[in-house]
Chains A and B, each alone.
Chain A
Amino acid sequence: MPSFDFKFPRLFTRLLNAGVLGLIAGLFSHTDAAVTEAPQASNNGVHAEMPEKYRAFFQSHCTECHGEEKQKGKVRLDNISFTVDTVKKADEWAKILNSLNSGDMPPEEAKQPAANVKADFLDALSQTMVMARKALSDQDGNITMRRLNRREYRNTLRELLGVELDVNGLPSDGGADRFDTVGAALFMSPDQFELYRDLGRKALTLSFQLAKETPKVQKQHIEPELELTAKMEKDLAYWNDIRKRYRKWTLQVDAAAKFPENVKIAAELKEKTKANPAKFYFAWDKLQGAPAPKEFGFSDAIDADMMNGRWETHAPYIADYLTQPQVKTGAYLASANIQRWINVRVPAQWPVGAYKARIRLAATKEGPTNRRFIDFLSGVNSAQLLSTHQVTGTMEEPQILEIPFKVESATGRSFAIAEKSMLGNADGFSFHDVLFASGYQANNIGPEFAVWVDWIELEGPFPSSQMTKSLSDVRSMLEQFEKDPNNALGFLNEFSQRAFRGNTPDADFLDKLARLYEVRRKGGEKPTDAILEPLSLILASPSFLYLAEPAGDEKKRSLSDLELATRLSFFLWSAPPDPELLRLAKAGALNKPEILAQQVERLLADERAIEFTRAFVSQWLGITRLDFFQFSLKTHPTFDLPTKAAAKEEVFQTFAHLLHHRESLTRLLKADFAVLNGLLAGYYGIAGVQGDAFRPVKLPAESPRGGLLGMAAILAMGGNGDQTSPVERGAWVLRKLLNDPPPPAPANVPQLNRLAGKPLTTRERIALHQEDAQCMQCHRKIDPIGFGLENFDAAGKWRTVDLRPDVPPQKREIDASGAFYKGPAFKDVFELRDLIAAKPERFARGFVEALIEYGLGRAFGFSDEDLANEIVAKAGAKDFQLPEFIHALVASKAFHSK
């Protein structure tokens, strides 16, 4: 394997030499100039330094006008400090960068630097600016107190009250490219207090209601044919009646056309409508004695023609439906408008909660395998996809699917079962029309029926065991309170202890809450109503909403066991500590390394850890980008919503698999397996995977799948839903896999439109980036990587030709070869992937930086250098097994300090 080096780390090392490492307890003795030049007033001893060698650039291109003598625009650059260690200096350098990027400087009439020289200079300066901003915003490891983000708030209410609320009405979290756990980026906007109070009250009301009366499990059995087959028979009669009336009318018009007085005109009309004989009847009123269509129940001739036309596309298909073998015992899902779905209604009197739908169903022999899937949707008119399921049962041996779903409101009671992508928002594409048209074209009837449903059973609600436990806690608190309604203080005290994660509430605070209760009692409210207001205030108070870790400003302190418990459970569950954690904390045992490690294992094994996987992974890898754009289903017809959802799930499921099976993080760079379900395996063309559960599947040797670069979701993010974007993909690889993020897209760079509209390959189009130093500085690193991934289309499918209409036909063959900037070459994606996988510590390092930010709730900074190194080293010693990273972070001093 050839070794190659990236520019970024070199600069990085230089900075470290100058700063951090030099200062860390004198571990290293440096005598080079960088150390002796270390600035006095820098942040944490780290600062950015523009390499001295670039002073020559200034002398050649800047100082003539911006020097000691001539100071054009009051700017002087001959004596500018190359040490960028204050906000003011950073702003000055930002201006220089900006005027170079915008092409303002050097001015047009002056001598221009060679593109390469300028690109190198811009590259160094951009990197220096990234360093400078990072150093200047370094928080020296201080963690800003954070409020619960939306997820944590929802989960906390669930743990505390046993109910789950929709919290999307709260303002969104995060921003400025930070994880949603970073305190400094979590704000409290003026309306928020009211929202919390309101949501808290709703949660309490519902919780009290459920605690008092556990809802009974309800069950309903539905035989879809009872409704459906009867409806089909009725529909068929309706269409046949139309047909009969149309025939009667046209026969009478034909008869009239033979009247002697009509013969001439009829012949003329027939001649005119030769191409479309049905149009002949549009002129019925020109024929004397011809009956009006109104007499046959049509509003006019056009209506008659249209209805007859619709008969043709409906009646034969319905008739065909009614001759299917099992219409008396079940219902077939049809593809066209005749009956695309089976409607399932949850009775209005059933409470909200978690339910199960059990469906007995089978795939017909005639249906092709790619149609052996059903969607489960909410609503019908604007149906939303909830889940997709593979139908593996046969007509001889039907299967029983069990689908969990939630009833979330009094109104959302309508659910539907349909063939995959046949109902609901399919990204604006009518799959059912396309399918029907192709079937109709073939046989003048319609497509074959692919799925048969025997019966459907609804059952629930089934609260989770955790929610049941929380509700029973609420119940016992309530019972206690109802026995002694004058002791509101006792209730409020106990409830706030729980809400405040084991912390003791302020006595004065409780007094004031108790008084609010009294006022309401005097106003005539029942105790359980009057207590709602003070309880909802507990849920809107700072001690509940913020994860406070009191501390002084002078030096860091160790966390108490209770604080550690909270930090740990929010890290891995996004939820408050459970009784077990609290018990260990109160016993002072949690900070013992072996007990802490056991707890990490326990938390990771708990189902709540899925929060960590989903929230962390989607933010770390930027998966939400997948939802930003619609996919063009014309160019990518198989990347429908269910497939997109499965592709996204693959990323989470793969991470969860690695986590739970102690596999190496580096499997995300390259693996001989992929974690797939039946739907996605079908999309990838991998045979033999059946069913909805994701599981590791051994890949054929020649498969391009395995690892993030083989995942459809990752590849699809690097495009716009229609075409690939090698730039997006290349930048993503640099950011996420090689930990060498390109600087943010510079402002004010002139747009390159020169070749717009000309027939060009993607490569030729992007090669324009090399014409201009401002673009070249970053794109020479980004674009080649993207080219290496061009064998994947914009929906992540393998391709060997680019069918984009503006690519000249002789240039369609994809060339995925390339070379890293100042690095090794690769001939295709396999070699590219191997080169990336050969640098696992780079990937691990980027992952660790993200993990630190997510877990500690603060931006990763220079002061975290040794922490990151330590974690990478510890995990590296164990083949980068995924849980080892988490153990190492939790065991670190930083995780235990405020």
Chain B
Amino acid sequence: MTPQLSRRHFLRATGSLIALPALKSLGFRAFAAERIVARPKRMIFLGLGFGVTQETWFPDLNQPGTEYTLPDGLAPLARHKNSLSVVQGLSNQYSKDAHWGSTFWLTGANRFAEAGQSFHNTISVDQVAAQTLGKETRHSSIQLNGADPNIDGQGHGPGLSLAWNAAGKPMGGLNSPVLLFHRLFSEENMSLEKRQAMLAQNRSVLDAVLTDAKKMQRNLTKTDNDKLNEYFQSIRELETRIAKGEQWLGVPNPKAPFPEPSESLRGREEVKLMYDLMAAAFQADSTRVFTYRQPIETLIKSLGIKVAAHDMSHYAPGERMEASQLRDRSQSELLAGLLDKLQAAKEPDGTSLLDHTCVVYGSNLRSVHTLDNCPTVVAGRGAGVKLGHNLVLPRNTPLCNLWLTLLRGVGVEAERHGDSSGVIKEMIA
């Protein structure tokens, strides 16, 4: 028999199980403004899975620099042309899986690096960033996943979101705007004392299950121990969240900037809403790092495209190519909308959110089955890199060099990332 539980119920319950206050107050904002002189840096990584229509998406390689024409696929971004750069020539040297646009995009890992395993991954750049940028916010980072991991053929590859933790394990993502809304703005009716008691009890809860885990750990093979480590890791991350919960105790909840979204939104509307919520989360300073593994099947369906995503990715002139191009333009339109939002949101010092945010949009897959010249758009002044450029780099410049450049740009002191060989000097303004 099945219990009487709606999905929405379930979302609410899980969102508030380890009860964390959801958002900083206006009062906190004033306080924060006084304390923080430099505005905090933020990062957004948007992974589009299957690549783009190469014929109509990439700016002309012969027009490097600022004097370039935005091609059809990027045209809707025209009003932000000076706030973004298209970076060409990047690739992940180890990426060979022609349907995996997201698995190694932010990690650059070698799938086969570990002898005795057929799959290996390493930490993703967003999680490196979150270790520093996430210190002061309620959520170190938030992962969103719009592409159902149960449905193959969306060009993302294995993974539950774009993010992989320090052990190279997949991190789960929130899969709907409703979930994100609740994570950010859920009302918390519990009294302070009660919440304190709950946090304290959660510590005893973790202590209890750890006892069982430790007992089990004693007699396991090394491989099994590694497996069980994932459990420990999940408990440790909860502990961190509880610690954060304590820090945030007594911070009353703000009002959500708009009403709870409908659960039925799919595709284009869903992406738009996710973007709105990201901007709202930055404004409320709930987190400073987002990754979003974007929907494909539902997106193209919402655009009235009848071709399946994988077929679309194998475009040839005609219906499939038109579908692919429509997808490109719609994605660019949506991205332009996000940049609008970030541009319009003012920081206490009068600058805009876009001045302090670095948005990366792209995929490990270029077009069809190709994994070089990964489509890459970097937008926003958060990382201090050159904007307004069609930046043509030497072929097969490690994608991880871009990640390293951006990490340094937002003030994360990383020595390297993945297989990086250095920062991209051409990007440093």
Measuring CB to CB, which residues of chain A are less than 8 angstroms from any residue of chain B?
Answer: 43, 87, 90-91, 94-95, 98, 102, 133-134, 136-140, 142, 144-147, 162-166, 169, 171-172, 175-176, 183-185, 187-195, 197-198, 202-203, 205-206, 210, 351-354, 406-411, 461, 463, 467, 505-506, 508-509, 512-513, 515-516, 519, 533-534, 537, 540-543, 545-546, 548-553, 624-625, 627-630, 632, 720-721, 744-749, 751, 753, 756-757, 859
**A189 touching B208, Cβ below 8 Å:** no
Determine if B115 is an interface residue (Cβ-Cβ < 8 Å).
Answer: yes
Determine if B219 is an interface residue (Cβ-Cβ < 8 Å).
Answer: yes
Determine if B119 is an interface residue (Cβ-Cβ < 8 Å).
Answer: yes
A87 and B3 in contact, given A512-B204, A546-B228, A756-B317 (Cβ under 8 angstroms): no
**A144 touching B224, Cβ below 8 Å:** yes
**B212 touching A142, Cβ below 8 Å:** no
Q: In the bound complex, how far is the Cα of B5 from the Cα of A509, in angstroms?
A: 30
Measuring CB to CB, which residues of chain B are less than 8 angstroms from any residue of chain A?
Answer: 1-7, 10-11, 13-14, 17-18, 93-99, 110, 112-113, 115-119, 148-153, 158-160, 165, 169-172, 201, 204-205, 207-209, 211-213, 215-216, 218-224, 227-228, 230-231, 233-235, 237-238, 297, 306-308, 310-311, 314, 316-318, 367-372
**B2 touching A163, Cβ below 8 Å:** yes
Q: Min CB distance, A411 to chain B, in Å? A: 6
Which of chain B's residues have a CB closer than 8 A to the CB of A205?
Answer: 3
**B150 touching A145, Cβ below 8 Å:** no
A548 and B116 in contact, given A533-B205, A628-B153, A757-B317 (Cβ under 8 angstroms): no
A144 and B211 in contact, given A193-B234, A516-B205, A553-B221 (Cβ under 8 angstroms): no
A94: nearest residue on chain B (CB-CB)? Answer: B96
**A859 touching B118, Cβ below 8 Å:** yes
A187 and B169 in contact, given A406-B2, A551-B221, A744-B97 (Cβ under 8 angstroms): yes
Which of chain B's residues have a CB closer than 8 A to the CB of A87?
Answer: 110, 112-113, 115
State which of A137, A505, A537, A747 has its C-beta within 8 Å of the C-beta of B205. Answer: A537
Q: Min CB distance, A754 to chain B, in Å? A: 10
Which of chain B's residues have a CB closer than 8 A to the CB of A757?
Answer: 316-318
**A721 touching B370, Cβ below 8 Å:** no
Q: In the bound complex, how far is the Cα of B372 from the Cα of A540, in angstroms?
A: 43
Which of chain A's residues have a CB closer than 8 A to the CB of B153?
Answer: 625, 628
Q: Min CB distance, A536 to chain B, in Å? A: 9
- Smallest CB-CB A-B distances: 3 pairs: A550-B219, A137-B118, A175-B158
Which of chain A's residues have a CB closer than 8 A to the CB of B235?
Answer: 193
A552: nearest residue on chain B (CB-CB)? Answer: B221
A509 and B201 in contact, given A625-B152, A753-B316, A756-B316 (Cβ under 8 angstroms): no
**A188 touching B372, Cβ below 8 Å:** no
A163: nearest residue on chain B (CB-CB)? Answer: B1
Which of chain B's residues have a CB closer than 8 A to the CB of A720?
Answer: 307-308, 311
If A87-B113, A190-B234 are given as contacts, then 4 extra A-B residue pairs at C-beta distance below 8 Å, sorted by A number, are A194-B18, A197-B205, A198-B17, A352-B3
Which of chain A's residues have a CB closer than 8 A to the CB of B237?
Answer: 190
**B3 touching A163, Cβ below 8 Å:** yes
State which of B18, B150, B222 has its C-beta within 8 Å of the C-beta of A172. Answer: B150
Which of chain A's residues have a CB closer than 8 A to the CB of B113?
Answer: 87
Which of chain B's residues have a CB closer than 8 A to the CB of A537?
Answer: 205, 208-209
Which of chain A's residues have a CB closer than 8 A to the CB of B119?
Answer: 176, 184-185
Q: Min CB distance, A444 to chain B, in Å? A: 34
Which of chain A's residues have a CB closer than 8 A to the CB of B212?
Answer: 505-506, 509, 541-543
**A746 touching B98, Cβ below 8 Å:** yes
**B223 touching A169, Cβ below 8 Å:** no
Q: In the bound complex, how far is the Cα of B367 from the Cα of A236, in angstroms?
A: 58
A745: nearest residue on chain B (CB-CB)? Answer: B98
A546 and B227 in contact, given A516-B201, A516-B208, A629-B308 (Cβ under 8 angstroms): yes
**A190 touching B165, Cβ below 8 Å:** yes
**A192 touching B238, Cβ below 8 Å:** no
A352 and B149 in contact, given A133-B118, A137-B115, A194-B238 (Cβ under 8 angstroms): no
**A543 touching B169, Cβ below 8 Å:** no
Q: Min CB distance, A509 to chain B, in Å? A: 4
State which of B3, B204, B238 has its C-beta within 8 Å of the C-beta of A515. Answer: B204
Which of chain A's residues have a CB closer than 8 A to the CB of B6?
Answer: 409-411
Which of chain B's residues have a CB closer than 8 A to the CB of A540?
Answer: 209
A197 and B17 in contact, given A188-B230, A190-B233, A748-B372 (Cβ under 8 angstroms): yes
**A508 touching B211, Cβ below 8 Å:** yes
Q: Min CB distance, A535 to chain B, in Å? A: 12
A206: nearest residue on chain B (CB-CB)? Answer: B3
Q: Min CB distance, A591 to chain B, in Å? A: 21
Which of chain B's residues have a CB closer than 8 A to the CB of A632?
Answer: 306
Which of chain A's residues have a CB closer than 8 A to the CB of B150?
Answer: 172, 624
State which of A144, A352, A534 has its C-beta within 8 Å of the C-beta of B2. Answer: A352
A749: nearest residue on chain B (CB-CB)? Answer: B369
Q: Min CB distance, B406 to chain A, in Å? A: 24
**A506 touching B211, Cβ below 8 Å:** yes
Contacts A/B (CB < 8 Å), 28 sampled:
A91-B94, A102-B370, A139-B223, A147-B227, A163-B3, A172-B149, A184-B119, A184-B223, A189-B169, A193-B235, A194-B238, A197-B205, A352-B1, A409-B4, A410-B4, A508-B211, A533-B205, A534-B208, A546-B216, A548-B220, A549-B224, A628-B152, A630-B306, A721-B308, A745-B99, A747-B97, A747-B370, A749-B370
Q: Min CB distance, A623 to chain B, in Å? A: 12
